[in-house]
Amino acid sequence: MAVAMPSSGEVLELGRGATALGEVQDAKMSRRHAQVRFDGRSFWVTDLGSQNGTFVDGEAFPKGTVHEARRVVRMGDSLFVPCQDLRPFQAEGVRLVEGFVRGPAMQGLLAEVSRAASLGFSLHIHGESGTGKEGVARTFHFHSHRRSGPFIAVNCAAIPLSIAERLLFGARRGAYSGADVDAPGYLQSADGGTLFLDEVVELDLSVQAKLLRVLESKEVLPLGAWKAQPIDLRVCCASNKDLRALVANGQLREDLYFRIGRPEVTLPPLRQRPEEIPLLLEQELQRISPGMGLHVSLVEECLRRPWPGNVRELLVELRGAVQAALMQGASRVEARHLGPGAGASFGPALSRAPEAQREPPRQRAPSKAKPLPPDERARIEQALLQNGGNVTATARALGIHRTQLRRLLERHALTPPDADEQE
């Protein structure tokens, strides 16, 4: 359950029984758990001597010390996300809209999309990969006058150049070898409805010219035909690239840009709408494994990570975590079930020095600890490799405290690659 907690002043004190929490009470929180102060730019958290501790962005800190909170604060089983302006959340909240999880930012954007659709405009959707551009295109179709017609979604990046014209514009019988029957294209299939062209900028310039002709004349000429067919459709396009820059580089026709590039909406990435993450996780978990629990550590870890692949990546990694939990016989999905690279930013591969230049590994005393299972050892080593040997980052990826990871490294003679225990 998500609740907005505005601060009446600069300082907000949180704990079990706090007025700000209303009916949402957490038995694992102390009565006076922590204090949150906003200085106009940043949020600062002070633990007030709580029994179970306070975690800021995944890290515990000593009682009485002050730490800046950027992504998430955990107290007991409750998570708090810093937000400088609560008014949109208070007005709109997070809810399901046409089957999709939508926070305040997305609800405002969808209202703009609906207006464009009702006015009969075309629409260009700009956004990073995985932000949900097709879902927005479906909203555009649903709110248009052609909602009763077909919605045809086409991934232009997946169309081979050699058959792009045939797939888009169709072909008449005998137009080429093997064309035994008339074959409608995507444009004819979308007649009376909406054609969604995802990554339209991937189309060849010659195909772009023919597409522009169709949009201007409202007629399509299939391959092998001598007479054009009238067509009535609305085109909605999407791309994760800057269209004006592509025009300047000669990758997109200027005249086509003026036909499909405006109006434009830009989808915010998932890292800018963290309020959607808990409901996204809960909805997907109930879809793929009803009855399985969602542990607070998993939600906390997902709130911390940047998710460069956005919603698509989040849901894929959740499915992987559910599989890992089921294989281990767990009844709930926890942070430890996430893959070490899930939601992490992509970076350069870890460079390794030649063997002759590499310092010999440090000698460790023989350990009497029970050996790590091979799969767990491999998981830790992979996380170390992906995080460049940085112990703090690796611990975050594994969902454990860095002190615990250091003990594992020492106890089982695990050495961060090409690095001593970096911070």
- Give the DSSP per-residue string, 203-270: S-HHHHHHHHHHHHHSEE--BT-SS-EE---EEEEEESS-HHHHHHTTSS-HHHHHHHS-SEEEPPPG
- pLDDT: which is higher, 170 or 314: 314
Which CATH entry fits the domain spanning 11-84: 2.30.30.90, 3.40.50.1100, 2.60.200.20, 3.40.50.970? 2.60.200.20
> Tell me: the pLDDT tens digits for 278-310?
999 999 998 998 888 999 999 999 999 989 899
Averaged pLDDT score across all residues of the chain: 81
The residues, ordered by sequence, that sit 6+ positions from 170 with a Cβ below 8 Å of its Cβ are: 182, 183, 184, 185, 187, 188, 220, 222, 223
CA gap 337, 324 in Å, rounded: 6
- Give the DSSP per-residue string, 302-318: HHHS--TTHHHHHHHHH
Strand partners, 178: none
State mean pLDDT over 88-111: 82
Place of tokens 């692949």: 309
> Tell me: the pLDDT tens digits for 22-53?
666 788 888 888 888 888 788 888 888 888 88
Dihedral-angle region of residue 233 (phi above 0 means left; psi in -120 to 50 means alpha; beta otherwise): beta
Rg (CA), the chain: 27
Q: Indicate whether 390 pLDDT > 50.
A: yes
Sort 52 into a burial class: Cβ within 10 Å, 0-12 / 13-18 / 19+. middle
Q: HSE, CB side, 13 Å, CA atoms: give it for residue 359.
A: 9
In the chain, where are the structural domains located? Answer: 11-84, 90-174+182-266, 270-337
CA gap 118, 132 in Å, rounded: 21
Q: Which two tokens stand for residue 212?
A: 């522009």
CA gap 180, 338 in Å, rounded: 51
CATH superfamily assigned to domain 90-174+182-266? P-loop containing nucleotide triphosphate hydrolases (3.40.50.300)
> Tell me: the pLDDT tens digits for 61-83?
888 888 888 889 898 888 888 88
Cα 144 to Cα 114, 171, 195, 234, 363, distances in angstroms: 8, 29, 12, 9, 70
- Give the DSSP per-residue string, 72-95: -EEETTEEE---S--HHHHHH-SE
Q: Which two tokens stand for residue 190?
A: 């979308």
CA gap 162, 403 in Å, rounded: 57
Listed ranges 6-15, 313-322, 375-384; the one with the highest mean pLDDT: 313-322
Cα 416 to Cα 35, 202, 337, 365, 376, distances in angstroms: 36, 42, 21, 17, 15
Q: Indicate whether 421 pLDDT > 50.
A: no
User: So what's the pLDDT on residue 198?
Assistant: 92
User: So what's the pLDDT on residue 266?
Assistant: 92
User: So what's the pLDDT on residue 365?
Assistant: 44
Q: Which two tokens stand for residue 97?
A: 């809209």
**CA neighbor of 27 nearest in space, from 65, 64, 78:** 78
User: So what's the pLDDT on residue 349?
Assistant: 42
Q: Which two tokens stand for residue 357?
A: 């230049």
> Tell me: the pLDDT tens digits for 165-219?
888 888 776 556 555 666 778 888 888 899 999 998 888 898 899 888 888 888 8
Query: Which phi and psi (to 5°) does residue 320 adopt?
Result: -65, -40
User: So what's the pLDDT on residue 291?
Assistant: 84
Place of tokens 């089957």: 99
User: So what's the pLDDT on residue 176?
Assistant: 61
Q: Indicate whether 366 pLDDT > 60.
A: no
Q: Which two tokens stand for residue 215?
A: 């949009």
User: So what's the pLDDT on residue 422?
Assistant: 46
* Domain 270-337 of CATH type 2.40.110.10: no
Is residue 260 within 8 Å of 218, Cβ to Cβ?
no
Confidence of residue 311 (pLDDT cuts 50, 70, 90): very high
User: So what's the pLDDT on residue 419?
Assistant: 42
User: So what's the pLDDT on residue 8?
Assistant: 55
Q: Indicate whether 99 pLDDT > 90.
A: no
The residues, ordered by sequence, that sit 6+ positions from 40 with a Cβ below 8 Å of its Cβ are: none
> Tell me: the pLDDT tens digits for 112-163?
999 988 888 789 999 998 888 999 999 999 998 888 999 999 998 888 887 8
